Homo-oligomer: A and B are copies of this chain.
Amino acid sequence: MVKRPGQATKSSASGRPVMVLLEALGKRWALRVIWELSNNNPCTFRELQSLCEEVSPTSLNNRLKDLRQLGLVELTSHGYALTNYGRSLSDLLLPLDRWANDWADWLA
């Protein structure tokens, strides 16, 4: 399904890590799932579903498979949670919230 760093993908023949990452994060709901997990940790499948606008279970499961394979998310006994690496990635994304607010003001 999803490709790991080093593996050639349609969006990155080189397999260069950042390209593989950008492709993985560019799939629908990927960024959103990471975002929601960073604020709701851990989280059941159905909780995640409702946090993500009632996304279809098929899509959510596909995305979760990807993120688990990439070592960003894991399924624990208490539900889905970010791994340490997933957490470090979500930390990098945190500034997007403030940025988006400024952006929205500017666009308005």
Q: Which residues of A line the B interface, CB within 8 A?
A: 4-6, 10-13, 17-23, 25-32, 35, 52-53, 70-71, 85, 88-89, 92, 95-97, 99-101, 103-104, 106-108
**Closest chain B residue to A23 by CB distance?**
B32
Q: Which residues of B contact A89 (CB under 8 A)?
A: 99, 103
Q: Are A53 and B10 in contact (CB under 8 A)?
A: yes
Q: Is the CB of A96 within 8 A of B100?
A: no
**What's the minimum C-beta distance from A99 to chain B, rounded to whole angstroms?**
6
Per assembly, the copies of the chain total: 2
A100 cross-chain contacts in B, Cβ below 8 A? 5, 17-18, 20-21
Does B96 lie within 8 Å of A21, measured CB to CB? Answer: yes
